[in-house]
Structure 1
């Protein structure tokens, strides 16, 4: 509770860091903030060409099937791999100024979350223009699953950022971990393709129910199953607890290690 009170007291600092990250992301580029929309559109173009023309899959409108899961995955992936360095990159501030150290991973993940929300404008536009359309009832569940993914992404950022302060190699190891994690998450394939004997282990992946829920809402245009939402919430909150405890124990000696 003390940590929550402190974070609330430093909310302006969090907002300031988020604004700085969003404003500085494309600073100096000719198109600036438009890259937020151009990047997912370029990816969509590549996937459309590869999976609709060259590598034909048995899934109808596979490029949409992939696209609605890829944007959420990019958010999680960036929160994990990029979040690992969010404490280290601000080491001078950590050593000289007192503030709740949780502010840094929270600000980083929040800026990535805002970027994902903007990318969802592209997803909505593509779904409408492609004729796939949107189900307004199913969309009511979208904020719920977004909050779950935010909690999960913040959890992994808390863990990775805290450990990286003590072990710099973690930042590089995560490059391999996230690549393997993506292939173990149903981003590029359907859950039905996973052999039954591996389903139990497969479902321990906290991103599995999140991707399934996004795809249910946006691709299949139906409300996600309650079991899927409950599964996602349970894994998200469990990992958040682990993240908070880990960060709380390791943050005490950040200044000395940096």
Structure 2
């Protein structure tokens, strides 16, 4: 019965969610000459810079390094941006929350979805790079949406969790920058897992972002159908983080007005 109430409530405010997402996208590129074109240019330019650095300075033995690198970038950059912006969404929307009733989960959710718009553009940029580098296109590319959905669900869970924690513990907004940097280095974005010592390989096995990236590369670059064990390594963290995030957010949301 409660599920029906939640769905009805969400449907009632879906237009507001759409407006919040559009607002975030417009604000991000407001007064920019190229506007939304930056959602394509940013991943392309970063790929070029990092490819030059890691191909010439570190010389990792990775075939088709530009596509390998960009597959990691697309997933991790989405999560990093989505979770970081969602974390501060309740605090930054305090004036609106204090004035009228709005389902508070809409704010972190809208931040994640606006970043998802950038993710879609990044995937388009990845396709462009694949054509430029003459990467073979296999039938498994049609499965690209599966790791993308895993990343989206995980980001929503982390977004609502962090946004609720940030209201009570503002220091987390500063600490998260350090955490996300460490998380990036523990995710095989620009290096092969084979170069790591065994104890680090074990740690990375429990890193859900590494699993999302691995699955994304499997279907995009290597033409492999993801194994059930890989699906399990992706699904379980998504479920745990989403349930935990919703639980913590629901328990604390009535106190947001008193703390923001």
Report TM bin, short chain. over 0.9
**1:133 Cα deviation from its structure 2 partner:** 2.9
- The 5-angstrom pairing of residues 1-258 of structure 1 reads 1=3, 2-135=5-138, 137-258=139-260
- What is the CA RMSD across the aligned residues, in angstroms? 1.5
The answer to whether the 8 Å contact 1:141/1:224 transfers is no
The answer to whether the 8 Å contact 1:141/1:217 transfers is yes
The answer to whether the 8 Å contact 1:210/1:232 transfers is yes
The answer to whether the 8 Å contact 1:186/1:208 transfers is yes
Larger mean CA deviation between 167-176 and 226-235 belongs to 226-235
TM-score (norm 1): 0.94
The Cα offsets for residues 152-183 of structure 1, whole Å up to 9 and x where unpaired, read as: 00111111111111121111110000001111
Larger mean CA deviation between 211-220 and 189-198 belongs to 189-198
| In 2: Cα distance, 1:55 partner to 1:196 partner | 21
**1:243 Cα deviation from its structure 2 partner:** 0.6
Q: Which runs of 5+ in 1 are unaligned?
A: none
Q: Structure 2 vs 1, CA of residues 10 and 156 (structure 1 numbering), >3 Å: closer, same or farther?
A: same
The answer to whether the 8 Å contact 2:54/2:190 transfers is no
Q: Which runs of 5+ in 2 are unaligned?
A: none
| In 2: Cα distance, 1:240 partner to 1:30 partner | 38
The Cα offsets for residues 121-172 of structure 1, whole Å up to 9 and x where unpaired, read as: 010111122111321x212221121111100001111111111111211111
Q: Structure 2 vs 1, CA of residues 201 and 86 (structure 1 numbering), >3 Å: closer, same or farther?
A: same
Q: Structure 2 vs 1, CA of residues 48 and 201 (structure 1 numbering), >3 Å: closer, same or farther?
A: closer
TM-score (norm 2): 0.93
Q: Moved runs in structure 1, 4+ residues, more than 6 A?
A: none
Q: Structure 2 vs 1, CA of residues 193 and 55 (structure 1 numbering), >3 Å: closer, same or farther?
A: closer
**Aligned residue pair count:** 257
For the residue of structure 2 that corresponds to 1:219, the secondary structure is helix
